[in-house]
Structure 1
Amino acid sequence: MYDLKEQEMMFVFTGPDGSGRKTVANLVAQSTLQMKGVISYTTRPKRSYEVEGRDYYFITDDEFRAAKEKGEFLENVRINGYQYGIKEMEIKKRFQEKGCIYLVMNTEGAEILKKLYGKKVVRIFLYADRQTLRERQVERGDASSVIAKHLAHYDEDMAYKKECEHAFENSKLDHTAYEVTQAVESYLK
């Protein structure tokens, strides 16, 4: 397991699918605070709006299994039949570039990192009501079967909100980004 140095921190953006966690993370951490992001690996098919190497690294089940057997994943979870994971080498590489990094993860992954690194992990939970999430997913072109799977986890994901260090309702992107930036900056001072 990668051993975090004193000044190193991880900011984990989590919450239900469609909450805007990736959008807010990119606005706040990458654009505003120039933090480096760590990209997850997944076995699920790429969606039409996703870009390889920006949203995820899309790999086969066999590639995932081989990497897992070699102990390359710092954390990995299975959701809706697909595997997701963060490789330890990606964490090391990003920390070499910057003292703080950010990740966009589901609640299970966020919890694994919190258990591994304790107070060095700050979880930022983003959420919206169920109908708003549905509308966002329809708008981005997700299939109705995919949306149904995402919303099936809604209550479970929302229950994780109370475990996180910060929670923000993402109804107005500019306001949410500002509030999240303020929260993240408070750790960087």
Structure 2
Amino acid sequence: MTTATAPMIRRRGVMLVVSSPSGAGKTTLTRTLLERDHDVSLSISVTTRPARPGEIDGVHYHFITKDEFQGMITRGELLEHAHVYGHSYGTPRSAVEAALADGKDVLFDIDWQGAQQLRLAAEHDLVGIFILPPSLAELERRLRARAQDPEEVVQHRLAQVTNDVTHWAEYDYVLVNQDLETSMTALTAILIAERMKRRRNLGLAEFVEQFRRQPDLPS
């Protein structure tokens, strides 16, 4: 018995934008998705902040100077850019557009400011997901458990939550990240459904046409 192979229908890629208050689990979710789904690639942002321990230029971020960043803005080379916690971040345009045209899905781990700009630049390609923590107490616990930031930064991030969460309604989906596996199940289901949307499957008309052609009948 042979197993039928699903037909390959040409499609346009999905821009999967995931945002959250700091500490809600966004980074863990996006890293897990990348590990499990090899059809998704991470959009690598440019930033003016210095690299943290363990970060690699060109893998986690492209680390550039303020002058280089401003030059990219002037030349229109960024799909979005924002100033967050004293540093600038932006998404290079060319790599994203090439991936989408090639049917590749691109994952964005960015804040609500960047998501707003991306939606203006590419609304029909974008799917926005906002991640919420189960409670403020749990959010604070996660921030302190990371042990990456000094106390003043932790306090600043907690204070920023009040503003960040007001943007939840700007997203297509909202997930409360109680635990990793439940959230991953939901995230994966969203991506599968968005990949199957008719408007993204550019080769559907060509595929369906074969069923309209009448075969030659024996005389």
Same fold (TM over 0.5): yes
Matches within 5 A, 1:25-40: 25-32=30-37, 34-40=39-45
Q: Offset at 1:74?
A: 1.4
User: Normalising to structure 1: TM-score of the pair?
Assistant: 0.86
Distance 1:160-1:8 versus aligned 2 partners, 3 A rule: same
Q: The residue matched to 1:168 in structure 2 has which SS?
A: strand
Contact 1:24/1:177, CA 8 A, preserved across alignment:
yes
Quick check: 126-135 or 93-102, which moved more? Answer: 93-102
Structure 2: give runs of 5+ residues left out of the alignment. 1-9, 197-219
Deviations 1:19-47 (A, max 9, x none): 12122122225523521110111112323
> What does residue 168 of structure 1 align with?
175
Say if 1:76 and 1:85, in contact at 8 Å, map to a contact too: yes
- Cα root mean square deviation, aligned: 2.1
Q: How many residues matched?
A: 185
State whether residues 12 and 124 of structure 1, in contact with CA within 8 Å, keep that contact through their aligned partners in structure 2.
yes
- 1-side partners of 2:195 and 2:185: how far apart? 15
Between 1:6-15 and 1:157-166, the stretch displaced more is: 6-15
Matched-pair contact (CA < 8 Å) for 1:12–1:105: yes
Shift of 1:80: 2.5
2:145 is aligned with 1:139: yes
Single out whichever of 67-76 and 174-183 deviates more from structure 2.
Answer: 67-76
Q: 1-side partners of 2:153 and 2:53: how far apart? A: 13
**Structure 1 counterpart of 2:85:** 80
TM-score, normalising length from structure 2? 0.76
Structure-2 residue corresponding to 1:91: 96
Asked whether the 8 Å contact 2:17–2:129 carries over to 1, the reply is yes
- Output the CA distance in 2 between the equivalents of 1:77 and 1:106: 9
135-144 or 156-165, larger mean C-alpha shift:
135-144
Whichever residue aligns with residue 63 of structure 1, its letter is E
- TM-aligned CA deviation for residue 57 of structure 1: 1.9
Check whether the contact 2:13–2:99 (CA below 8 A) recurs between aligned residues: no
Whether 1:43 aligns to 2:9 is no
Pair 1:120–1:98, CA change in 2 (3 A): closer
Cα distance, 1:184 vs. partner?
1.3
Query: Which residues of 2 match residues 1-189 of structure 1 at below 5 A?
Result: 7-32=12-37, 34-95=39-100, 98-128=103-133, 129-140=135-146, 141-189=148-196
Structure showing greater Rg: 2
Tell me if the contact between 1:74 and 1:85 (Cα under 8 Å) persists in the aligned partners. yes
Give the fraction of aligned pairs with identical amino acids, expressed as a percent.
25
Measured after TM superposition, the shift of residue 49 of structure 1 is 5.0
